Amino acid sequence: MTKTIAERADILPQLAEVFRAHGYEGATLSLIGEATGLGKGSLYHFFPGGKQQMAAEVLTEIDTWFDVNVFAPLRTSDDPARAIGNMIEAVTGYFKSGGRVCLVGVVALGAARDSFATEVHDYFARWGDALAGALRRSGDPPATARRKSDDALLVIQGALVLARARDDTKVFVRAMSDLKSRLLTRDN
């Protein structure tokens, strides 16, 4: 019988799902052990800082994913309108049309926010900056771009809450469709 050797890259996504499903406080080491198939010994081998470190690394990985797949395209694309459309598509896929919650939003609402204030703040700040930049380059004046980017972040988070409250992804899908046309319309 060969032992399976775990790698950080495999563990983090499973860890993320546990935190998403149960929140920081609700994600116990037993649940994490089940989801990863790892005992506490292995878990503490990878994350000597315990639960706090696990959540911090998960948040960092989430941030990296968005940086590569969402923020960077918004910042560098020479077709900003197209990049905004791609953002909506990427977000819809990532959040499984509202069937998967945003861990950063969950953390922001909970008591763990204070422990991860920087991670939470920066995630939304960098998303907002990247989106506002794309809107400016597509013709919106700075103040309008900023208002529209705030609006977008807030609609995405709210749609996730409502979709989960109703246990129905329709409201999320419709919100993304509306958001897209609102972002790509110049006169608002």
Partner DNA sequence: GTCTATAAAGCGATAGAC
Partner DNA sequence: GTCTATCGCTTTATAGAC
Distance CA 55, CA 47 (A): 10
- How many amino acids of this chain bind DNA (CB under 7 A)? 22
Among 1, 5, 9, 143, binds DNA (CB under 7 A): 5
| Residue 155 Cα to chain centre, angstroms | 13
Q: Considering only residues 141-160, where is the footprint of DNA by CB under 7 A?
A: none
Q: Is 53 in contact with 15 (CB distance < 8 Å)?
A: no
Q: Which CB atom, from 47 or from 66, has the smaller least distance to DNA?
A: 47
Burial 145-182 (b: 16+ CB within 10 A, else e): bbebbeebbebbbebbbebbeeeebebbeebbeebbee
- By CB under 8 A, is residue 180 in contact with a second copy? no
**Binding-site string for DNA from residue 36 to residue 55, where x marks contact by CB under 7 A and - marks none:** -xxxxxx-xxx-x-xxx---
- By CB under 8 A, is residue 120 in contact with a second copy? yes
Which entry of DNA, a second copy, none binds 17, CB below 5 to 8 A by partner kind? none
